[in-house]
């Protein structure tokens, strides 16, 4: 059984910063990809950032230059540093990883940015 535990969400003013963490545990073999998605009310879930095992990264255009993703392979943990937050970043943020062709999701953590 694989479990993803997210932390670091909360309420912050526009221009502030938050750092999300997601720790994976359980029967993992060799996690190939880890990433963060978000879903705002009334909108579809969208990819925010992803990182491969070899540290290749990709970002949504809306967060480039403000968010940074990194990972610790030894701990199966992925992080999302979010700077210069905007009200439109408000959403539930979900951790996602792929291992042996299977995808796993965290329970989500709320990020609210006030104007």
Mean pLDDT throughout 10-27? 96
Percent residues over pLDDT 70 in the chain: 100
Mean pLDDT throughout 45-51? 98
* pLDDT at residue number 29: 85
* pLDDT at residue number 28: 87
For the stretch 81-114, pLDDT in tens is 999 999 999 999 999 999 999 999 999 999 999 9
Supply the mean pLDDT for the chain.
Answer: 96
* pLDDT at residue number 3: 95
DSSP-derived secondary structure for the chain: -EEEEEE--EEEETT--EEEEEEEEES-S---EEEEEEE-TTS--EEEEEEETT--EEE-TTTTTTEEEEEEGGGTEEEEEE-S--GGG-EEEEEEEEETTEEEE---EEEEEE-
């Amino acid at each position: 059984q694989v479990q993803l535990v997210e932390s670091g969400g909360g309420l912050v003013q526009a221009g502030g910063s938050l750092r999300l963490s997601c720790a994976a545990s359980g029967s993992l073999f060799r996690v190939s990809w880890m990433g963060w998605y978000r879903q705002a009310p009334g909108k579809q879930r969208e990819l925010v950032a992803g990182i491969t095992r070899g540290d290749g990264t990709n970002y949504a255009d809306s967060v480039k230059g403000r968010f940074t993703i990194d990972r610790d392979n030894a701990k199966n943990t992925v992080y999302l540093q979010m700077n210069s937050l905007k009200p439109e970043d408000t959403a539930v943020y979900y951790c996602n990883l792929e291992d042996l062709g299977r995808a796993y999701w965290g329970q989500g953590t709320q990020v609210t940015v006030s104007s």
